[in-house]
């Protein structure tokens, strides 16, 4: 039964949503901005739109409205603000990665500013990871867009396995951290790679954290404007990855 089912009281609906989203809040802090949380129905799926300038990915996730918990960054830009500077929100999931991203983007900062921003992120990170990372049996899917200069060919040297079925579309591909998920994904018509280990350097990305923690994670990359193929990859994953444990 879904939360929208007729006959359920408001309290029952609230309890149902609490079961899939036990954190209470509808917003999560990420650096000095927030992630909007949208919980729909009972499911082990989690979905993330983390780069605000990747509008194709945002539209795909909003229109697909899959059952599960979706997170949308409240920004139109790629970087998010922090302490008067900025950071890539997909580079702050480890201390080392965050420090590297802060130093690259805020060259005018003093050493004390780097240390203070790093401490702030260290304090924030456990809550953020606890909310974003799927429970056992669940999967986190992140949707990204890219332009020329980044493609599956960038990731192939870093990957343990590769399925390159559509060489005409190297910018459209999926990246998995679970070998079992990859074994299914390589039966799809889409390009995909497996990155189940996390060799140095530590870039602070969410995919690296998921590989380190043994979490099931899939990144769906599509060229900007490639709404149709990104939606097709999302629909394929929801239809074909193993059934999720409900929680
Ligand atoms: Zn991105």
pLDDT by residue, tens only, the chain of 247 residues: 344 444 455 554 555 555 556 665 688 999 999 999 998 877 789 999 999 999 999 999 999 988 889 999 999 999 999 999 999 999 999 999 999 999 999 999 999 999 999 999 999 999 999 999 988 789 999 999 999 899 999 999 999 999 999 999 999 999 999 999 999 999 999 999 999 997 888 999 999 999 999 999 999 999 999 999 999 999 999 999 976 654 4
- What is the helix (H) or strand (E) element at residue 239, kind and residue range? helix 227-240
Report the separation in Å between the CA atom of 115 and the middle of ligand 1, taken as the mean of its atom positions: 26
How far, in Å, is the centroid of ligand 1 from the Cα of 45?
Answer: 19
* Rounded-to-integer distance, Cα 247 and Cα 244, Å: 9
Distance CA 161, CA 179 (A): 9
4 Cα–ligand 1 center, Å: 32
pLDDT tens per residue across span 182-239: 999 999 999 999 999 978 889 999 999 999 999 999 999 999 999 999 999 999 999 9
CA of 181 to the centre of ligand 1 (A): 21
pTM of the model: 0.89
What totals of helices (H) and strands (E) does the chain contain, helices first?
A: 8, 11
């Amino acid at each position: 039964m879904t939360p929208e089912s007729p006959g359920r009281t408001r309290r029952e609906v609230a309890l149902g949503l609490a079961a899939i989203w036990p954190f209470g809040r509808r917003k999560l802090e990420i650096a000095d901005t927030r992630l909007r949380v949208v919980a729909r129905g009972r499911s082990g799926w989690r979905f993330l739109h983390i780069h605000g300038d990747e509008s194709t990915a945002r539209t795909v996730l909003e229109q697909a409205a899959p059952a599960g918990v979706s997170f949308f960054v409240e920004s139109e830009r790629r970087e998010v603000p922090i302490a008067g500077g900025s950071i890539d929100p997909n580079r702050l999931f480890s201390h080392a990665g965050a420090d590297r991203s802060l130093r690259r983007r805020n060259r005018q900062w003093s050493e004390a500013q780097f240390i203070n921003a790093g401490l702030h992120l260290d304090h924030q990170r456990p809550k953020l990871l606890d909310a974003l990372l799927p429970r056992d049996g669940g999967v986190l899917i992140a949707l990204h867009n890219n332009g020329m200069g980044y493609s599956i060919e960038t990731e192939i040297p870093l990957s343990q396995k590769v399925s390159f079925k559509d060489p005409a579309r190297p910018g459209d591909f999926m990246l998995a951290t679970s070998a079992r998920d990859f074994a299914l994904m390589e039966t799809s018509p889409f390009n995909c790679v497996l990155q189940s280990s996390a060799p140095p350097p530590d870039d602070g990305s969410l995919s690296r954290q998921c590989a380190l923690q043994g979490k099931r994670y899939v990144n769906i990359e599509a060229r900007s404007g490639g709404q149709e193929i990104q939606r097709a990859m999302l629909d394929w994953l929801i239809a074909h990855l193993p059934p999720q444990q409900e929680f």
